[in-house]
Structure 1
Amino acid sequence: MTTPTGGDPSGTDTAADDPTAVDEPTVVALEHPAEGVPPVLSLPEEFADAARRIAEGEGPIALDTERASGFRYSNRAYLIQIRRRGAGSFLIDPIDHPDALAPLIAALDGPQWVLHAADQDLPCLRDLDFVCADLFDTELGGRLLGLPRVNLAAMVAHFLGMGLAKGHGAADWSRRPLPDDWLNYAALDVEVLVELRDAVATALDEAGKADWAAQEFDHVRTKPEPAPRPDRWRRTSGLHTVKSPRVLAAVRELWTAREQVAEQRDIAPGRVLPDSAIVAAATAAPTSVEELTSLPVFGGHRQRRSARRWFDALDRARRLPDSELPPRTARSVGLPAVNRWSNRNPAAAARIGAARPAMAALSEQVSTPVENLLQPDILRQICWDGVEPATDEAVAERLRSLGARPWQAQTCGPVVAEALRTAGTETAD
């Protein structure tokens, strides 16, 4: 059903007289699950009964998780939402009895999982020993289709004409008991996820991108967890104001001490000690606990109890020999920034200069974002290295060796190869 987007205050239907007027589809608010909010299951016998019902259902299984990012140190799932046709919806609290999840793990091992932004949910599900054998990621499908907005609410509105009630995604899901409106929100996240999957699958098939999606989903499902970032302390907010290696060492020691407390207590690091307090204390370099507690934040009741810990961290930095102080800038890893290529590798600069607009044109042609067509790191690496001779076949093979999926190598290989050849010709001239 469609309705006019506007009306004339005089009562005249101007939209009917305007051949260029476009009606917007009505979005029906989906405020509550059709079958009501299911109870939260937290006991072993409840897990076993839910597993039996899920196993008796049919088709793909919709899944979502709720974490407590910004409140807890860990990325664990504090609630798991599950829905399957013929079985209904389930809200699983895995906190008290994670060792009793085996029946659910077995029931979910085999059927296709439907997730929205799977790379956010898969890690915490793996931590609980859930195994995904087949994946459909509705958000990634939307990206491949070139949709302007791919959040769950936008895609549900676009494909299903429904408006999801939102508002609690950033809440502290470690809280117990969970409020009723939070549980309503959580249940809605999987209420029509399988229906969305069906609509996205149809659109991908009509666009000739079903195979692209299958390869991308499998890549997300099987890719290993990324290696920890080196020197994570350098991500401290406000660090750009610090120039002295000695002060940098103080930031590093305070950050490390805070990390240990946060992990031990399972509290988000910023709630243990704000980044701004770390930089302020490192810069002030107090020489006693009393001086430290005179600084903002550190004078609070909670921080006074930990003042000796923070002062000891500062003291360790103060006593470090110069040879152990961190450099002012992080050691570079990987390729240099592209804006430095013209000096360090002019041929590579010419190649990236030709490849980027060519890939942008391909992105426009196939209605898929450039970063989904080919990972930026792969494009930079092949342009830095070059390929000789830059035949379509050689470039496609090099793309695959760098981690591109077969569909990416097939689709982007000829475009990248032509750009490399063009750049080589211009450089020679």
Structure 2
Amino acid sequence: MIKRFDPSFLLKNARLIENSHELGRFLNEISDRKLIGVDTESAGFYKYHQGLNLIQIAAENCAAIIDPQAVKDFSSFQNFAKDPSREWIFHGGDFDIRMLTQEINVQISKFFDTRIAAELIGFDSLGLSSISEHFLGIRMDKKLQRCDWSRRPLTTEMKHYALLDAISLLSIRDILYDELLKMGRLDWALEEFSFALKNLNEHHDREENLFAFQIKGAGSLNKRSLAILKEIWVVREAISKENDRAPFMVLGNSTLIEISRQIPKTLSRLSSIKGVGKSFLSGYGDLILDAVKKGCSVDLFKFQTKPRKRENRRSLSAFEGELLKLLRQTRDSIAQNLNKRRVGFSRKRSPTD
């Protein structure tokens, strides 16, 4: 089942909003629309601070890109979001909703998540590209997925890529809504949306990860090298934060591991380690050597590392083993019967979907 879908009109006529006056005017124009497709873009792959770089909105017969780097006053958007009857459509909306809330204080009260909906009707591949191809006949090109969205000016290709997700969400939502209704699972979906939104709106303090320095490869290091790793990891974090660059762009994890293992004492020795460039060496080489020295002086008896997970489960008795087997069989049977009730999913999807 493929729905006729042609985004060309909206892509061609979409506007780029770069000030609060344009934003207010656009929101006023769509104030009577009760369904809006929403997507956001962040340059978090390249930046230390994961900010909100683009907001894409699509409604019936219109679409726009809002540039948070240019717009300074979002009060009109905050008021627009207060309408409890308006449904905001996202795909895997956790990140988007959090960014809208944290960055510009836009808090929504009703949303439809196409990823959750697709999962509830038994769709196998939950990426928006696969779902879009299945329902709309369009497979989205993801080559710009890791684009630096903080870059200005936006190219036409960047604009079209960013807009297409939001535009497609409107049509996909209608199809999924009908499928959920036919299968008697609409209430399931609404309950999931409500629970997800409640969880997103609640404030959760993030616990400090005391062992974040134990990156991939740290398991091969002895305790002294782990102490050094912690110190140079702290330095890398500080450099990344100061320059707003992703940590891997400052020094790769494999380079941190090698520095910790080789324990260089001079700039010459540090420069021989793969991944330590000349510009980094001249700017931050001494900081790294100081961190290595500090790690070498750490009291290893007091140094804490992430405790290894221990398996504390006791062995099951014969009766418990049979009961567990029966429960799993019952669960799988119920799941299979539920999936047999899919509507309109006869097309076999490829393993790459």
Pair 179,133 (structure 1): closer, same or farther in 2 beyond 3 Å: same
Tell me, yes or no, if structure 1 residue 360 matches structure 2 residue 339: no
Maintained 8 Å contact 1:62/1:190: yes
Pair 73,352 (structure 1): closer, same or farther in 2 beyond 3 Å: farther
Give the partner amino acid of 1:240: G
How far apart are the structure 1 equivalents of 2:131 and 2:290? 51
Alignment-derived partner of residue 279 in structure 1: 257
Pair 33,347 (structure 1): closer, same or farther in 2 beyond 3 Å: farther
Maintained 8 Å contact 2:11/2:164: no
Alignment-derived partner of residue 27 in structure 2: 51
Pair 32,269 (structure 1): closer, same or farther in 2 beyond 3 Å: farther
After superposition, residues 231-310 of structure 1 pair within 5 angstroms as 231-234=210-213, 236-242=215-221, 244-310=222-288
- Work out which of the two has the higher radius of gyration on C-alpha atoms and give 1 or 2: 1
Shift of 1:208: 1.4
After superposition, residues 86-235 of structure 1 pair within 5 angstroms as 88-98=62-72, 100-110=73-83, 111-127=86-102, 128-223=104-199, 224=202, 225=204, 227-228=206-207, 230-234=209-213
Pair 318,352 (structure 1): closer, same or farther in 2 beyond 3 Å: farther
Give the 3-state SS of the residue equivalent to 2:12 in structure 1: coil
How far apart are the structure 2 equivalents of 1:349 and 1:91? 57
Alignment-derived partner of residue 330 in structure 1: 307
Alignment-derived partner of residue 80 in structure 1: 55
How far apart are the structure 1 equivalents of 2:320 and 2:300? 38
Maintained 8 Å contact 1:27/1:162: no
Maintained 8 Å contact 1:257/1:310: yes
Give the 3-state SS of the residue equivalent to 2:191 in structure 1: helix
Alignment-derived partner of residue 399 in structure 1: none
Between structures 1 and 2, the one with greater helix share: 1
Maintained 8 Å contact 2:228/2:291: yes
Maintained 8 Å contact 1:68/1:78: yes
Maintained 8 Å contact 2:44/2:51: no
What is the TM-score normalised by the length of structure 2? 0.85
Structure 1: gaps of 5 or more residues: 1-24, 369-429
Alignment-derived partner of residue 395 in structure 1: none
- Identical aligned pairs, as a percentage? 23
What is the TM-score normalised by the length of structure 1? 0.71
Give the 3-state SS of the residue equivalent to 1:113 in structure 2: strand
Shift of 1:274: 0.3
Pair 262,349 (structure 1): closer, same or farther in 2 beyond 3 Å: farther
Give the 3-state SS of the residue equivalent to 1:200 in structure 2: helix
How far apart are the structure 2 equivalents of 1:90 and 1:226? 33
| Residue 18 of structure 2, aligned match among 42, 45, 50 | 42
C-alpha RMSD over aligned residues: 2.7
Alignment-derived partner of residue 345 in structure 2: none
